[in-house]
Structure 1
Amino acid sequence: MNKMVKGRIYTLIGAIGWGLSGACGQYLMNDSAVSPIYLTALRMIIAGVFLTILAFFKQPEQFKTLISTPKEMFQILYFGIFGLMLCQLTYLIAIHDSNAGTATVLQYTCPILIVIYVSLKEKTAPTVMEFAAIFFALVGTFVIATHGNPFNLSLTPAGLFWGIISAFTYALYTLLPGKLIYRWGSLIVTGLGLLSGGILFYIGSASWQYTIQWKPYTFIAFIGIIGIGTIFAYTLYLEGVSLIGPVQGSLLASAEPISSVFFSIILLGEVFQGIDIVGIVLILIAVYLITMKEQLQEKHMRIKH
């Protein structure tokens, strides 16, 4: 198996694992009364421990240099709180107030927010492809939220609100660690960010006060969201992206909302109407257009140089 094929398979499996984690999170919050706050803290700490240990053994010299640099560690903690923690917490709250499939699709409007942010920052108008992506994303979100009737929300107001907020926090998660990942690599930054942010959030939120209603599938769902949907998914995804590059990686990551909808239907019995699928497809088209635009830019740069 060549490097590119292996990278695509790893990335795709990682994205599907993330989709599974949303369904497992929905089960834990709705059926086992697990607080989104407690679940966020626990998920970050356990996954952070594993990924940090993995980073230490894979990149020992870089790891030792990084943890002995207070300024860099502060930046990782900042990313852990305002990138990783906020992204995961708002996503889980959105799932709690809607469902895993809808929350994941709404979160995937994030690339459109990044396009708008970059355009405003650089004071340049979006390209035709970017305008088309923004249009598809807005229409898709409108369709999912209203089923075409602007006077009637098909989602709860809280579900829609937190779904959109999770897209903003996902944008922060994407934008914040750019320089850190360039200097230290995504595995170290993600591992330490999850661990440090998770510990601080656990203490700050007093997560030990929350209780769990243990049911037959509760433990399995914890394995699904933490073991498969976080540790396994992050490890495979990061390895895959290192082989195929971030542009192809982000395109294949679009399997996450599709798999999240699939697992919501198969495992949780959620019902999606035809109009919901139309909205989902429109948002995925928007993500695809943004990713293809980045791929075209990458090819142009290679040809130019």
Structure 2
Amino acid sequence: MNSSGKNVVKGIFWAALASAMWGISGTVLQLISHNLKVPEAWLLSARTLSSGVLLLVISALVYRCKIFDVFRSWRSVMWLVAYAVLGLMANLYTFYLAIQTGNSPAATILQYLAPLFIVVGGLFIGNRPLKTDVIAFVLALVGVILALTKGNLGQLSISVTSLMWGLGSGLTAAFYVALPRPLVKDGNPPIVILGWGTMIAGILFNLYHPFWVQVPHLSLAVVGSVATTVIAGTILPFTLLLYAAKFASSDVISIMDAVQPTVTSILCFLFLGVKLSLIEIGGMVLVVIGIYVLQRGRRQYEEKQLQQDAFDD
């Protein structure tokens, strides 16, 4: 294998590991909400603020004073606040409630629909859908229906409340992806944007419910679980993705997102007693294939556009 091939393999490995970290975090969130009964207000305040502090410390060590460049213009500040509130805060809140009212595999697969929400949002501003967009939408829709009904269209395998929170997590995940793009295009490192966004979200969560108020019994299980969501759900995966980007392209890395729902489903089955039928598993596989078709089609379209622009010049 040549050096280029070895680099791609490295990129795939680190991206898959990052996605697996999110899968572990999703499983631990179900443990926290269903078994340990940790109040969501306290968890969101403690988890988000501590993640923001750690991310900014890492950013400062790497980029030093450049971490404040995002505050040089009001435009950047507005995008950052929008990302923190509509992306991070909303996504963390809806995803946790989707797990709390349902289960982690269902919440994860619904959040995994974020790329479809981005495409649908583009339709409202006049973007014409590609053929692969339509194929992906149909595959994902059939997959979600199978995963959430177990093949019985007259009955959901999760509550309607959980379904709505799950769809909300998918929509807010789309905001989470789209809103920081202008800031990254301006030259701000992604980890810095994530750090400030998480810090702002953490402060706002704490204004609603300070982490030192109504603290749950901090058993070893609670402390370990919350620490896992901070490290495996935020710090490690994002760092690993940045490292993976050195070896492989974004389209290759994005394929590894499928590892997250897979890991979550396996861990919930092994350790939390969440049973999945073959129909549910098949539905999840269809969703993963649909998102893959969407991402691949979009990537090929962007490459053709770049080639056409270069030819016209």
Superposed pair shares fold, TM > 0.5: yes
1:246 aligns with 2:250: yes
- Identity over the aligned pairs, expressed in percent? 25
* Amino acid paired to 2:135: A
The residue number in structure 1 matching 2:199 is: 195
Which stretch shows the higher mean deviation, 145-154 or 165-174? 145-154
Which stretch shows the higher mean deviation, 167-176 or 214-223? 214-223
* 1-structure distance, mates of 2:303, 2:192: 29
Count of residues in correspondence between the two structures: 304
Map 1:1-305 onto structure 2 (within 5 A): 3-69=7-73, 71-124=75-128, 126-183=129-186, 184-215=188-219, 217-301=221-305, 303-304=307-308, 305=310
State the 1:214 CA deviation. Answer: 4.4
Q: Which runs of 5+ in 1 are unaligned?
A: none
Q: Which runs of 5+ in 2 are unaligned?
A: none
State the 1:185 CA deviation. Answer: 1.9
State the 1:296 CA deviation. Answer: 1.7
Instruction: Normalising by structure 2, report the TM-score.
Output: 0.89
* 2-structure distance, mates of 1:128, 1:154: 31
* 2-structure distance, mates of 1:270, 1:69: 48
Distance 1:43 1:241, change over 3 A: farther
CA-atom RMSD in angstroms: 2.1
State the 1:220 CA deviation. Answer: 2.4
* 1-structure distance, mates of 2:246, 2:76: 22
* 2-structure distance, mates of 1:218, 1:270: 21
Which stretch shows the higher mean deviation, 159-168 or 227-236? 227-236
State the 1:283 CA deviation. Answer: 0.7
* 1-structure distance, mates of 2:250, 2:101: 31
* 2-structure distance, mates of 1:106, 1:21: 16
* Amino acid paired to 1:169: T
SS of structure 2 residue aligned to 1:59: helix
* 2-structure distance, mates of 1:10, 1:97: 32
* 1-structure distance, mates of 2:234, 2:127: 37
Instruction: Normalising by structure 1, report the TM-score.
Output: 0.92
- 8 A contact 1:80–1:198 mirrored in 2: no
* Amino acid paired to 2:181: G
Distance 1:75 1:302, change over 3 A: closer
